[in-house]
Structure 1
Amino acid sequence: MAHLRPRRRLALAVPVALSLTASLGFLPTAAQATPRAQSTAQAAEDSYAYLVNTRTDPYTIKSVKAAINAAGGSVVVSYDRIGVIVVHSTDLDFARKIRTVRGVQSAGASRTSPVRSAQTTDQGAVQYLSKAEAAKLAKSSTAGEEPLEADQWDLRAIGADKAAEINPGSRKVTVAVIDTGVDDTHPDIAPNFSAAQSANCVSGKADSSYGAWRPVNDGHHYHGTHVAGEIAAARNGIGVAGVAPGVQVASITVAQPDANSLFFPESVVCAFVFAADHGVEVTNNSYYVDPWLYNCMDDPDQRAIVDAVNRAQLYAQRKGTLNVASAGNSNDDLDSHALVDGSSPDDSTPVNRTVDPHECFDVPTQLPGVVTVSATGVKGVKSYYSSYGYGVVDVAAPGGDKYQIPDTPSKNGRILSTLPNDSYGFLQGTSMASPHVAAVAALLKSTHPWATPAQLQALLKAEAVNPGCPAGPYDGDGDGVVDATCVGGKRVNGFYGFGIVNALQAVQ
């Protein structure tokens, strides 16, 4: 990647040389990171998931697999080309044992609860658009607009409405939504959906059978469908429009099928590899890898998670895929030296810990080469919830903000998009900002078909519009308290990186 500024990001390569230094107030110990202790009878019937990362030569992989079997593990899937093996074992001491095996570079538990136990990053509950509201809104649309487009302030904020008149994007370009699944039967998504590039990776092994990519229809797994509509909802006279309504969108499902919708690392590894092997040009990653909000490099389990996911996303980059990810909704300064994480691990019992984001990483957003996206509201100001950080955030995009009220029929500052079962609704979050950037990247790829991922990222930054740091104290929610401090200048800063992306510039 062409670095246009200093990066404070995880510097990893494959094979990985990991820094184990950390000046932290508290970090979880290895014992706290491994699966929770249980009774002997319970442990005997529970299977836990592990990641074993090795050198990639065939001899090493063969010998490590033999060692896995000898240590009581069962190989679920092996991604030999990146040296990542997904393993199930009932032995709570499996990771410690396998780390001593020659050729193993890192290994650890991918979760702290059993595999048989089955969170998305939008900020607040979804607000559904009723049929009556939709019918009323449609009366506000003008000639050439989609029926609900009057409420899509986000399209106009980045020039996507005008861009569509010049170049709506090429059908040779696909954005894969790595998420909770996409309802490809939605009339706004169906015209642009690529089934051939879609799969279900929940188990860690890709299932590309027909319909496997669809979300569980339980009212909880709407997130991926909303993201997909933001990217590529067709301009077909129905509902809303996407930022890149001419490109294709695929679904790679990684969320567990229960109400918590957790995104475990083995599922995400599978997703990056599948996307790369199926010719996907851009992936959108509106999540963080569970169960740790921040993965600390001095913990062997969390280190293995970072290693495995990084190998997979770097593999995708080498195959020509640009990976775009949301910065998070904690209003955290990712360039600080002390953040409090009270949410991890989120698959069992969270503990309060103080972490240094220079040593403990939000995955995949802080991995090298990944485009990190912060969120803005209708006023072009950082959204109150959006995480930020000088040297971490690359670009910004509309993600919605309930405190920034647009002059639209609904006066709703969130993002309107598609939902399962032919529905529409509003969400806000960096989850909504990231797909705007993924879509603009797809427009750039349509305009510059030979551009590499590094070149696409450079173009995103070069064509972004930077509002600069706020002139006064930043009070995102209007309660009179300063909520964040912006560091940097007009060209690049911690709130917006190189600026808010511009769809119109992307097609010109």
Structure 2
Amino acid sequence: MAHPRSRRMRALAVPLGLALTASLGFLPNAATAASQDAAPAAAVSTDGPLLSYVVNTTPGHAAVGKVKKAIAKAGGKVITAHEQIGVIVVHSANPGFAESIRTVRGVQSAGATRTAPLKASGTTDIGKPQKVELPKAQLKAAGAAAKAEGKEPLEPLQWDIPAIKADKAAKVNPGSKKVTVAIIDTGVDDTHPDLKANFSARQSANCVGGVANTAKGSWRPYDPENDYHGTHVAGTIAAARNGVGVSGVAPGVKISAIKVSEPETSLFYAESVVCAFVFAADHGVEVTNNSYYVDPWMFNCKDDADQAAIIDAVGRAAKYAERKGAVNVAAAGNSSLNLAADKLVDTGSPNDSTPVERTVDPKTCWDVPTQLPGTVTVAATGVHKLKSYYSNYGLGTVDVAAPGGDSKQVPELPAKNGNILSTMPGGDWAYLAGTSMASPHVSGVVALIKSAHPKSSPQEIQWLLKQQADNPGCPKDDATCTGTKHVNSHYGYGIIDALDAVKK
């Protein structure tokens, strides 16, 4: 499977899985616009690879219309135009398309969203969950004990739920059905018994390729055996308290699925992510969960015209969702990098062709969408409230922290496993680890805050999230942690608190 946050899940998580077979991871313009209104009329070459591009211009029907004409003259085919944010998705086999279209008046940035031709195949697997049978006696005993305590059958194995007091929060306010969290990911199996009661089909779609498809079931994973990431994220956010399986952080809210991962490769390209943010915004979503980074670049640099256009396009779409009332939550990444460092080495980009080692400056080279302004950036912690060994971090970059799992931090019985247990396609459950697993915990708590404060703006909700977080402070023996007891590089403002979210 591709990266969602580990690489994916790059953020998809670093899935380290143990499935349970139970009966019970925008911008200052990168190109300067010249004075002409259309691309040069010279003969257009079509002997290059067919690539996808984003062309960013002044929002509005008239401005976008003029640029569309120039796109055709430059050898491009418009796939869709998001006029409200001025982002046009284009396919072209003209190797000079981007350079040509950047000279058009009104074009603020433009660039290829991939380095491999359309329909390219290839994988960036991060490992599949390893299915194991729990002893029936142990499973039965755990289920019986949980039922007696008013818990879900597998909840005793979820150390993360009490870690953020989500079990106590559910007794006060499990979340409002008027609040929806959109899971921008590999798709969600909405037929899962732990998910179907809270699933919102009308707010779900398949955005792969950049155009929203709302046909029934289009949002489900292409390949349930490999594209399990979005379903796992969904359970952490809102698995129902229905006497089956696990419990989500906000078991009373709605979830929707906006699929953006390419078939076979599971890559998350900019045109699909732009579509997802716009669709979420236009369909009344209150929270978006983003456990991935936009492919093919782990970091998009503003001094590269193509990568700057990706930042610009995705940034516009994310800001549009925020203006429409959504809080965007994103995983920090699983490379154990200090995102506030002066320099970082990226050895995995581009991940859709041949990676080339490069040194990048995190101040001008961004992990998208996690480093976009206004996004809640989430680091991962383990059962001992220490930063997970794989989690990215950074003072001034990480906003909050949440359970993401850590095989080196082992919980007490009956949980046994230090990773995060949640739903899997086909009615199963599994353990995974990664900042991809931390992000949905935060999305769930954000949904609880929105449920308790329905009239609050995204900015106000973020303020409450940070104010309510509990910061353990930097570990005494960890020199990588910098900052204060209140704000530091490992936890941001602290580890989220679900109980405070519904009581304060």
Residues 348-393 of structure 1: CA deviation (Å, up to 9, x unaligned): 0000001111110000000010000000000011000000000000
- Residue pair 2:30, 2:109 contacting (<8 A) in 1 also: no
What is the Cα deviation at residue 58 of structure 1?
3.1
Alpha carbons of structure 1 residues 95 and 360: separation in structure 2 relative to 1, 3 Å: same
- Residue pair 1:203, 1:267 contacting (<8 A) in 2 also: yes
Match of 2:341 in 1: 336
What is the Cα deviation at residue 46 of structure 1?
4.2
What amino acid maps onto 1:457 in structure 2? Answer: Q
Distance 1:439 1:119 in 2: 33
- Residue pair 1:52, 1:304 contacting (<8 A) in 2 also: yes
Gaps of 5+ in 2: 1-25, 32-44
Matched position secondary structure for 1:271: helix
Match of 1:495 in 2: 490
1:17 paired residue among 19, 28, 34:
28
What is the Cα deviation at residue 93 of structure 1?
1.3
Match of 2:66 in 1: 63
Alpha carbons of structure 1 residues 249 and 290: separation in structure 2 relative to 1, 3 Å: same
Alpha carbons of structure 1 residues 462 and 127: separation in structure 2 relative to 1, 3 Å: farther
After TM superposition, the structure 1 stretch with the greater mean CA deviation from structure 2, 57-66 or 339-348, is: 57-66
- Residue pair 2:122, 2:352 contacting (<8 A) in 1 also: no
Alpha carbons of structure 1 residues 19 and 93: separation in structure 2 relative to 1, 3 Å: closer
Match of 2:235 in 1: 229
Correspondence 1:282-297 to 2 at 5 A = 282-297=287-302
- Residue pair 1:122, 1:428 contacting (<8 A) in 2 also: no
Match of 1:54 in 2: 57
Match of 1:325 in 2: 330
Match of 2:41 in 1: none
What amino acid maps onto 1:412 in structure 2? Answer: N
What amino acid maps onto 2:361 in structure 1? Answer: D
What is the Cα deviation at residue 410 of structure 1?
4.2
Residues 184-220 of structure 1: CA deviation (Å, up to 9, x unaligned): 0000000000000000000101001111000013411
What is the Cα deviation at residue 445 of structure 1?
0.3
Matched position secondary structure for 2:417: coil
Correspondence 1:202-221 to 2 at 5 A = 202-221=208-227
What is the Cα deviation at residue 472 of structure 1?
1.3
Match of 1:179 in 2: 185
* 2:373 counterpart of 1:365: no
- Residue pair 1:297, 1:303 contacting (<8 A) in 2 also: yes
* 2:340 counterpart of 1:345: no
* 2:138 counterpart of 1:110: no
What is the Cα deviation at residue 409 of structure 1?
1.9
What is the Cα deviation at residue 67 of structure 1?
0.4
Matched position secondary structure for 2:374: coil
Match of 1:301 in 2: 306
What amino acid maps onto 1:173 in structure 2? Answer: V
* 2:379 counterpart of 1:374: yes
1:450 paired residue among 455, 460, 464:
455
Match of 2:262 in 1: 256
What amino acid maps onto 1:117 in structure 2? Answer: A
Matched position secondary structure for 1:416: strand
Alpha carbons of structure 1 residues 140 and 348: separation in structure 2 relative to 1, 3 Å: farther
What amino acid maps onto 1:17 in structure 2? Answer: P
Match of 2:200 in 1: 194
Distance 1:252 1:58 in 2: 26
What is the Cα deviation at residue 330 of structure 1?
0.4
What is the Cα deviation at residue 137 of structure 1?
4.3
- Residue pair 1:120, 1:286 contacting (<8 A) in 2 also: no
What is the Cα deviation at residue 65 of structure 1?
0.3
What is the Cα deviation at residue 127 of structure 1?
3.8
What amino acid maps onto 1:404 in structure 2? Answer: Q
What is the Cα deviation at residue 130 of structure 1?
3.3
Correspondence 1:32-181 to 2 at 5 A = 44=47, 46-118=49-121, 125-128=128-131, 130=133, 132=135, 134-135=139-140, 137-141=142-146, 142-181=148-187
User: Kindly, what percent of the aligned residue pairs are identical?
Assistant: 60
Distance 1:331 1:493 in 2: 16
Match of 1:386 in 2: 391
Residues 77-101 of structure 1: CA deviation (Å, up to 9, x unaligned): 0001100000001111110110011
- Residue pair 2:30, 2:309 contacting (<8 A) in 1 also: no
1:273 paired residue among 243, 266, 278:
278
What is the Cα deviation at residue 139 of structure 1?
4.5
- Residue pair 2:288, 2:326 contacting (<8 A) in 1 also: yes
Alpha carbons of structure 1 residues 121 and 471: separation in structure 2 relative to 1, 3 Å: farther
Matched position secondary structure for 1:68: helix
* 2:492 counterpart of 1:506: no
Distance 2:30 2:482 in 1: 26
Distance 2:122 2:496 in 1: 27
Match of 1:241 in 2: 247
Distance 1:216 1:135 in 2: 33
What amino acid maps onto 2:249 in structure 1? Answer: V
- Residue pair 1:119, 1:263 contacting (<8 A) in 2 also: no
* 2:476 counterpart of 1:465: no
Match of 1:36 in 2: none
After TM superposition, the structure 1 stretch with the greater mean CA deviation from structure 2, 55-64 or 380-389, is: 55-64
What is the Cα deviation at residue 44 of structure 1?
3.9
What is the Cα deviation at residue 268 of structure 1?
0.2
Distance 2:369 2:386 in 1: 25
What amino acid maps onto 1:280 in structure 2? Answer: V
RMSD of aligned alpha carbons? 2.0
Distance 2:271 2:98 in 1: 15
Residues 457-500 of structure 1: CA deviation (Å, up to 9, x unaligned): 000000000000111136xxxxxxxxxx0110101000000000
Gaps of 5+ in 1: 1-11, 21-40, 475-484
Distance 1:344 1:139 in 2: 49
Distance 2:379 2:86 in 1: 32
Distance 1:410 1:276 in 2: 38
- Residue pair 1:122, 1:429 contacting (<8 A) in 2 also: no
Distance 1:168 1:446 in 2: 9
Alpha carbons of structure 1 residues 145 and 196: separation in structure 2 relative to 1, 3 Å: same
What is the Cα deviation at residue 165 of structure 1?
0.6
Alpha carbons of structure 1 residues 119 and 247: separation in structure 2 relative to 1, 3 Å: farther
